[in-house]
Chains A and B, each alone.
Chain A
Amino acid sequence: MSFLEIKDLHVTAGDREILKGVSFSMEEGETCILFGPNGSGKSTLLASIMGYGQMKITAGHIIFKDQDITHKTVDERARLGIGMMMQRPPNVTGVKLGDLVKVTAANGHGKTGQETEFKMEDFLDRDVNVGFSGGEIKRSELLQLAAQAPDFVMLDEPESGVDLENIGLIGRKVHELIYGDTHCGADKHKRVSALVITHTGQILDYIGADKAYILIDGQIRCTGRPADLLKDIKENGYGDCKSCQTIVKIQ
Chain B
Amino acid sequence: MSDDRQDSVKQALGKAAAFGPDIDMNKFAEGERKPEQIEKLQDTPDDLAKRMENVGVTADDSHRDGTILFIDNGMSHCSNRAQDGLIIMDTKQALQKFEWARQYNWKALDPTKDKYTAKTYLEDSDGYFLYIKPGYHLKYPVQTCMMLGKHQGIQNLHNIIVVDHDASMEIITGCTTVHGANEALHVGVSEMYIGDNASLSFSMIHSWNDHTAVRPRTNVMIGKNARYVNNYVVLDPVGTVQSFPTAFLNGEGASCSFNTMCIAHENSDIDTGGCAMLNARGTNAEILSRNITYGGKMVARGRLVGNAPGIKAHLECRSIVQKDGGVTEAIPELEAHFADVEMTHEAAVGKIAQDQIEYLMSRGLTQDNAVSMIVRGFLVGGIKGLPQSLRTEIDKAVDKANLGS
For B369, the closest partner residue in chain A by CB is A103
- The answer to whether A75 and B381 touch (CB under 8 A), given A90-B356, A95-B374, A103-B373, is no
In the complex, A215 Cα to B354 Cα: how many Å?
27
For A104, the closest partner residue in chain B by CB is B363
A53 an interface residue at 8 Å Cβ cutoff?
A: yes
Per-residue contact bits, chain A 51-79, to B (CB 8 Å; 1 contact, 0 not): 11110000000000000000001110111
A176 an interface residue at 8 Å Cβ cutoff?
A: no
Say what secondary structure dominates the interface of chain B: helix
- How far, in Å, is B384 (CB) from chain A's closest CB? 12
- The answer to whether A75 and B366 touch (CB under 8 A), given A93-B381, A94-B379, is yes
Looking at B354, B363, B376, B379, which has the most chain A CB atoms within 10 Å of its CB? B363
A-B Cβ contacts below 8 A, count: 84
Per-residue contact bits, chain B 352-395, to A (CB 8 Å; 1 contact, 0 not): 01111011111111110110011011111110000000000000
In the complex, A64 Cα to B365 Cα: how many Å?
19
Query: B367 to A75, Cβ gap below 8 A?
Result: yes
A86 an interface residue at 8 Å Cβ cutoff?
A: yes
Residues on the A chain within 8 Å of B360, using CB: 92, 95, 100
Query: B380 to A94, Cβ gap below 8 A?
Result: yes
For B364, the closest partner residue in chain A by CB is A107
What's the interface size class on A, roughly?
Answer: 20 to 34
A83 an interface residue at 8 Å Cβ cutoff?
A: yes
- How far, in Å, is B163 (CB) from chain A's closest CB? 30
In the complex, A84 Cα to B360 Cα: how many Å?
11
Residues on the B chain within 8 Å of A95, using CB: 360, 373-374, 376-377, 381
Say what secondary structure dominates the interface of chain A: mixed
Per-residue contact bits, chain A 87-106, to B (CB 8 Å; 1 contact, 0 not): 00111111110011001100
In the complex, A104 Cα to B382 Cα: how many Å?
23
- How far, in Å, is B368 (CB) from chain A's closest CB? 10
A144 an interface residue at 8 Å Cβ cutoff?
A: yes
Query: Which residues, 185 to 231 on A, are CB-close (under 8 Å) to B?
Result: none
- The answer to whether A90 and B355 touch (CB under 8 A), given A75-B367, A78-B361, A103-B373, is yes
For A99, the closest partner residue in chain B by CB is B373
In the complex, A77 Cα to B366 Cα: how many Å?
11
In the complex, A85 Cα to B355 Cα: how many Å?
14
What's the interface size class on B, roughly?
Answer: 20 to 34
In the complex, A95 Cα to B359 Cα: how many Å?
12
A108 an interface residue at 8 Å Cβ cutoff?
A: yes
A127 an interface residue at 8 Å Cβ cutoff?
A: yes
Query: A52 to B364, Cβ gap below 8 A?
Result: no
Looking at B359, B362, B370, B376, which has the most chain A CB atoms within 10 Å of its CB? B362
Q: Point out the residue from B363, B366, B373, B378 that lies within 8 Å of A148, measured CB to CB.
A: B363
Residues on the A chain within 8 Å of B365, using CB: 75, 103-104, 107
In the complex, A130 Cα to B365 Cα: how many Å?
20
- How far, in Å, is B122 (CB) from chain A's closest CB? 44
In the complex, A73 Cα to B358 Cα: how many Å?
9
A50 an interface residue at 8 Å Cβ cutoff?
A: yes
Residues on the B chain within 8 Å of A79, using CB: 364
- The answer to whether A75 and B361 touch (CB under 8 A), given A54-B354, A92-B356, A99-B373, is yes
Query: B353 to A90, Cβ gap below 8 A?
Result: yes
User: Which residues of A are in contact with B by a Cβ distance under 8 Å?
Assistant: 50-54, 73-75, 77-79, 83-84, 86, 89-96, 99-100, 103-104, 107-108, 127, 144, 147-148
User: Which residues of B are in contact with A by a Cβ distance under 8 Å?
Assistant: 353-356, 358-367, 369-370, 373-374, 376-382
9 A–B contacts, CB within 8 A, in A order: A50-B362, A78-B364, A94-B377, A95-B374, A95-B381, A96-B377, A107-B365, A127-B377, A148-B364
Inter-chain pairs besides A75-B361, A92-B356, A104-B364, 8 sampled, C-beta below 8 Å: A74-B361, A75-B370, A83-B362, A93-B377, A94-B378, A95-B360, A103-B364, A104-B365
